[in-house]
Structure 1
C-alpha cells in the first residue's frame, strides 16, 4: 500500500514531453529559451509587468529584500502563521522579522495588528522599510486593507504568494499585489517545477537587479568581473520546461482541488464541532490545501487524534503551520499576537488535497475518516 500524500506533484505526459524538448534543445544549464518563455507566460497570467524565474520562492524573497537595501537594524513585519522560509529570508539580510498574528477566520495577517505593529516600531525609533504578508493555504490576504496600511506608513509590500497562485483578492490576482510578489513552484505546490520560484513586479529596475544578483552579480565584461556579492539563484531551463507545461494545466488542477474541498465539506457536514477552514469565500481561492478546524470539546476528539488515525492507514495529514513566534529559532523576536494563530495551530489539520490524487486514494482517505468518525 503506497502512502497518500497531502499534495504530490501532478505530472502527465505533457510535462514529460516539455522536459524532453528542453533537453533536446541543448539548453540544459540555467537560463535558456524555456526560462524566458516561462517568465513571459507567468507575467501574463498574473498581470505583472516583469517576472524573474529563480531556484526557489525563498530565493525570490531574499533577492527582493536585498535589492531594496533591507539589512541589519531594519524590522520587517510578516505573518506569524507561515512556513519558516518567509522569516528565514528576512533573517538572511540581517533584518529582524516581526511576527504579526492572524485573522482567525482566514489565518492571514491581521491588518489592524499590522498597522499597530508598524506604529509601535516607528515610535520606538525602529526602521520599517517593508512588510511581507503571506497568502495562507491558497487564500489571499486582505490586499485592500494591507495596501491602506502600507500607504499610511510609507512601507514597501513584498507579497508572499507562494501558496496562492491562481487565487485572487477582489480583482487583484495573487502574484500581482504589492511592490513585488513571489511565487513558489516547490514539489507540493499548486504547480511545480520540482524546485523553483519567481519574482513578479511592475518595477523594471527591480526585476533587472534581481536578475543581476541571481546570476552571481557578474558585470558585463569578457572576463569574470564582480562589484557586488551575487547569488547562484537562477532556474534551470529544464525545470522551466516543466513549469510551462504545468502552467498550461493550472486551471484544471485548481478545479480538481476544489472538487476535493467540496468532498470534504460533504463528509464533515453532519459532524458537530468540525468546520472546513477558509470555506467562506473560497470561490476566489486556489484550494491548495483543504484543512479542518476541530472543536475537541464538542467532537470528543482532537485534530491530533484524527492525524494519528490517518497515519495508521499510511495517509499524510498535517497541522497548520506552527506560528513563527513559537519556533525556538525565533524565540525573543518581536511579536504582536492575539492568540489566533496558536488556536489555529492547535485545532487545524490539513488533509490530502493534491490534484494528482486517484479515485482509489480518495476512497482510502474518505474510508479512513468515515471509520474514525464511526468509532468516535
Structure 2
C-alpha cells in the first residue's frame, strides 16, 4: 500500500533541534527558561499591535485562563460559536458556566453577527447578560470582525478570539489574535506550526500577561514559603517544547505560503466540478492561512456525499475529515441554548477537510488528484 498522506502533519524547519539542544546543554528542562522567553517574544513581534504573549501547555488552557480573568464563574453564560471544535466550549463548563451557542454566517462559516445580537438580546431579556463572547477563526478563515466587534462593544461584552487555527491569517491587514480582549493560539501537532503540544494566551496588557503566568504556575504568592491565595493551574509551556516553537516561528511565513499554495491546488483541481465548492475568502478583506482546505459537496446536483469521497480517499490511504460537528448537536451540550438556523448543521453534513500539510509533495498531490478525477460525481 502507498504511504499515508496525513491531513496535517508536523513539518520541521531545521532549527528546532538547535534550541532544544541548548536547553539540554544548559539543563533548562523545566517550564521556564530562555526558549520560553524567546518564543513569546517571537510571537509578540509577529502579531505586532503591542500584544503580550504567555506560552502555555495548550490553547484550551489559554482559553480557560482568559475566561477566569474575565470573571466568568458558576452560573454565568458565555456565548460561543457552535461550528467549532469542542475545545472552544469546554473551558466554559470547567468554570460551571453555561455555553450559549450561535450559528454561522453561510459565506464565512464563522459566527453570524445577526444571530450573535439576537442571542445577546434574548439572554439580557432573561436577566442573563453574557460575560463573554468566543469567536473562532475556523480553518484559518478570519471571522466577520467588524460586525462582531460592533455588537460586542455596543453591549459592552468582552470578546475572546479562538485563533487556534488562524496564526498567520489577517482581517483588513490586521493579524488574527489581536482583536479581542484576549486571544488564544494553539501549537498542537496538526497546527500550522507546532511545539508538539502547546498554546499561548495573547493579552492586551503586561499585567494580564503577568496574571496569566501567575495562574499557570500554581498561583504561588510572593513569600519565602509556598503560599497560595488563589487557585492555580499547571499550565506553563516547557522550555523543551518552546525550543521547538522558536525554530517553527522562523519558518511561519513559509508555512503560510505553502498552505495557501495547497488551497490554490484544490481550487484548480475542482474548478470544473460544479458540485464542489472550495471554501475561500469572500473578498480581499480576508486573508486566510488556509490551515485546512475544506470543500462542500452539493448533494442536489451530485449523487455522492462527503462521506463517499472520504471513503474514496481512505481506500488510497489518504486521510480526510468531516467538518466539525456543531456544538449544539453534541450530546454533552444538548441542553444549552442555541440561536440560529441550520447553517452549521448543513456544513457538517456536506463538508470535508482535505490534506493540507505544508509538507505535501508533488507526488502526494498527484495521488490526491487521481482520487478526485476517478470519483464519480
- Corresponding residue for 1:361? 364
CA distance in 2, matches of 1:111, 1:223: 50
Describe the superposition over 1:132-176 as per-residue Cα deviations: whole angstroms up to 9, x where unpaired. 111100011111111111111011111110000011111321111
State the aligned residue count.
Answer: 374
Shift in Å at residue 299 of structure 1? 2.2
Give SS of 1:280's match: coil
Shift in Å at residue 131 of structure 1? 0.6
- Corresponding residue for 1:114? 116
Give SS of 2:236's match: coil
Runs of 4+ in 1 over 4 A off after TM superposition: none
Pairs within 5 Å for 1:41-60: 41-47=42-48, 48-60=50-62
- Corresponding residue for 1:321? 324
Pairs within 5 Å for 1:343-362: 343-362=346-365
Shift in Å at residue 279 of structure 1? 4.4
CA distance in 2, matches of 1:214, 1:134: 23
Give SS of 1:51's match: strand
Contact preservation (8 Å) 1:73, 1:127: no
- Corresponding residue for 1:3? 4
Give SS of 2:166's match: coil
Shift in Å at residue 178 of structure 1? 1.0
Question: Which of 341, 344, 352 is matched with 2:344 structurally?
Answer: 341
- Corresponding residue for 1:14? 15
Describe the superposition over 1:341-366 as per-residue Cα deviations: whole angstroms up to 9, x where unpaired. 00110111010001012222222212
- Corresponding residue for 2:267? 265
Give SS of 2:374's match: helix
Q: Is the counterpart of residue 129 in structure 1 residue 131 in structure 2?
A: yes
Shift in Å at residue 31 of structure 1? 0.8
Task: Pick which of 166-175 and 19-28 moved more.
Answer: 19-28
CA distance in 2, matches of 1:294, 1:259: 22
CA distance in 1, matches of 2:19, 2:183: 27
User: Over aligned residue pairs, what C-alpha RMSD do you find?
Assistant: 1.3
Contact preservation (8 Å) 2:104, 2:343: yes
- Corresponding residue for 1:287? 290
Shift in Å at residue 185 of structure 1? 0.4
CA distance in 2, matches of 1:44, 1:93: 32
CA distance in 1, matches of 2:283, 2:27: 46
Task: Pick which of 21-30 and 70-79 moved more.
Answer: 21-30
CA distance in 2, matches of 1:78, 1:267: 34
Contact preservation (8 Å) 2:120, 2:129: no
Describe the superposition over 1:71-114 as per-residue Cα deviations: whole angstroms up to 9, x where unpaired. 11211001000000011011111111110000011110001110
Contact preservation (8 Å) 1:179, 1:203: no
CA distance in 2, matches of 1:312, 1:20: 41
Shift in Å at residue 280 of structure 1? 3.4
Contact preservation (8 Å) 2:19, 2:35: no
Task: Pick which of 220-229 and 349-358 moved more.
Answer: 220-229
Give SS of 2:312's match: helix
CA distance in 2, matches of 1:20, 1:265: 41
Give SS of 1:103's match: coil
- Corresponding residue for 1:78? 80
TM-score normalised by the chain length of structure 2: 0.97
- Corresponding residue for 1:195? 197
Q: Is the counterpart of residue 216 in structure 1 residue 198 in structure 2?
A: no
Structure 1 unaligned blocks of 5 or more: none
CA distance in 2, matches of 1:129, 1:279: 31
Task: Pick which of 41-50 and 149-158 moved more.
Answer: 41-50
Higher relative helix content: 1
TM-score normalised by the chain length of structure 1: 0.97
CA distance in 2, matches of 1:334, 1:65: 19
CA distance in 1, matches of 2:119, 2:70: 21
Give SS of 1:159's match: strand
Structure 2 unaligned blocks of 5 or more: none
Give SS of 1:238's match: helix
